[in-house]
Amino acid sequence: MIKLFAVCYQRFQSVASLLQSPFLLLVRLYWGWQFAQAGWGKMQHIHKVTGFFQSLGIPFPAFNAHFVAGVEFFGGILLILGLASRLTGLILTINMLVAYWTASRDALFSVISDPGTFYGDAAYTFLFAALLVLIFGAGWISVDTLIAKQYRQRTQQA
């Protein structure tokens, strides 16, 4: 009976593992689009973002507004493509942690005492998506995978 359960569970794990790359693709497409839209929105209203950053006491608010807009816009596009995914995930994770630190500090510090406040913040899902890509990569449906495949083929031929 235990052996049958072990075999069935192993098959279940194999089938469930097949969902990893399609799931990562969906995360990248949806949240890449969301990041790109957020960055584009910041670019279109850079003066408002600069004023907001200034109100938060962020140093060099104009420079940082442009920088964050670019990180989110181009980072979103890179996520969609699955290009430089883990590096992009790292940069976007740092970006969202800084967003928590500067704009939602109370939510950040409530992660243990009041988790609902932490994950109810708008930055949470962006942070979570960036962390998923940072930790798990882009999956096999990505430009990263195509580049790695080409690299392996060229090194095997050499």
Instruction: Supply 107's token pair.
Output: 């939510």
User: What 3-state class would DSSP assign to 152?
Assistant: helix
Amino acid (1-letter code) at residue 81: L
User: What pLDDT does residue 93 have?
Assistant: 98
pLDDT in tens, 13-59: 999 999 999 999 999 999 999 999 999 999 999 999 999 999 999 99
What are the pLDDT digits (tens) for 85-119? 999 999 999 999 999 999 999 999 999 999 999 99
Q: Which amino acid is at 28?
A: R
Residue 51: closest CA among 65, 38, 40: 65
This prediction's pTM: 0.91
Total Cβ atoms within 10 A of residue 88: 27
Neighbours of 136 (CB within 10 A): 16
CA-only gyration radius of the chain, Å: 20
